[in-house]
Structure 1
Amino acid sequence: MLKRALELRSSLEAVFLYTEHAEKLARFRISSQGWQRIQQVAEVLEIAHEGQQLLSADRQPTLHLAIPAIEYPMDAWEKLEEGKYKADPEMCSVLKAGIAKLGIYYLEMEKTDAYAIAMILTPYVKMRYLNKWW
């Protein structure tokens, strides 16, 4: 929804140009800083969406992608936290919360061998990922 709001920003702002709407809707007007924050949050959520999409398949098993699907957003968010948003405590707080939440799921995954076995049994993955990252 944030992505769509960003796409429609000029149209949403155009509504405020009509005097008959401006007064009634004034409290809903988004400042330029607000739009900037929406862009930042959308960027963070897009990373989570990309990780989730790794596990979305209609016709093939995706268990072998579970570890990369958790690690991808964690790594990307850590890079944003240490780089682009280093000077922004609010965004760092959001990123830390996301990393912490995914960390809980990651630790739960370590309690079973199913994920590693699924990776080993997937012909094009085999041991490559585990040898490289674990």
Structure 2
Amino acid sequence: MLAFALEYRQAIARMSADADTGLRRFELDRKEWDIVKQLVEVLKVYKHATMFFSRGTPNLPTVIPAMDRTDDVLTNQSLDTVKFSESIRAACTLSKATLNRYYNKTDTSETYRIAMILHPRYKLRYFRDRRWEEEWIETAEDILRDEYECSYSSLPVDDDTTAAPDPVPVVTVSRCSYAP
């Protein structure tokens, strides 16, 4: 809507300047048009994120990188004193705080960490590239190893190269305990 208004600024200005239309009170001054232009730029990151997560194949490991990208954009916009007014920069700062409140909730989810590490594109390299604390990376790796040990290590492995005459049942005692 704002992009449309910006694109048709001259027509909107002519229409609202005409006293006969009764739209004079809605006429924007130069400063207000500057804010519209800045908002169009700032809101692009949300449009891109919305389009990304609305596509047919969003998946868990893409959430963290998308949130990181949004956070990077908001950080740059909140610090850009040349391109953005003080009010727009303040709005970006508040928006960044809200995003980080949700981002912090991913810290309590082991699933996000496991999904990121298992993703062929990201693995642990993503966290190192983003300069995450080594302790956090080690914790994420430990979570993945523990999940494997608890849920998958005792499962039989199909081996097509050798045919065992009679499968031997595997009995293991899980080291893991799950709280109900």
Distance 2:58 2:43 in 1: 25
- Residues 25/61 of structure 1: CA separation in 2 closer, same or farther (3 Å cut): closer
Query: Which segments of structure 1 move beyond 4 Å, counting only runs of 4 or more?
Result: none
Give the superposition deviation at 1:66: 0.6
Q: Which moved more, 1:98-107 or 1:84-93?
A: 84-93
Give the superposition deviation at 1:32: 1.1
- Residues 110/85 of structure 1: CA separation in 2 closer, same or farther (3 Å cut): farther
Give the superposition deviation at 1:34: 0.5
1:100-129 C-alpha deviation (Å, 9 max, x unpaired): 100100111111122222222322333331
Distance 2:9 2:104 in 1: 40
Provide the aligned length of Structure 1 versus Structure 2.
131
Q: What amino acid maps onto 1:39 in structure 2?
A: K
Higher helix content, 1 or 2? 1
Aligned match of 1:72? 69
Describe how 1:55-70 pairs up with structure 2 within 5 A.
Answer: 55-58=53-56, 60-70=57-67
Aligned match of 1:90? 87
Structure with larger RCO (C-alpha < 8 A, sep 6+): 1
1:53-112 C-alpha deviation (Å, 9 max, x unpaired): 332221x24211111121212211111222245883312211111011001001111111
Larger Rg: 2
Calculate the TM-score normalised by the size of structure 1: 0.83
Q: What amino acid maps onto 2:35 in structure 1?
A: R
Q: Which runs of 5+ in 1 are unaligned?
A: none
> Percent of pairs identical after alignment?
28
Aligned match of 2:38? 40
- Residues 11/94 of structure 1: CA separation in 2 closer, same or farther (3 Å cut): same
- Could you tell me whether the CA contact under 8 Å between 1:3 and 1:42 is conserved in 2? yes
- Could you tell me whether the CA contact under 8 Å between 2:2 and 2:40 is conserved in 1? yes
**Structure 2 residue matching 1:75: 3-state secondary structure:** helix
- Could you tell me whether the CA contact under 8 Å between 1:86 and 1:92 is conserved in 2? no
Q: Which moved more, 1:78-87 or 1:47-56?
A: 78-87
Describe how 1:1-134 pairs up with structure 2 within 5 A.
Answer: 1-16=1-16, 18-21=18-21, 24-58=22-56, 60-84=57-81, 88-133=85-130, 134=132
- Could you tell me whether the CA contact under 8 Å between 1:54 and 1:65 is conserved in 2? no
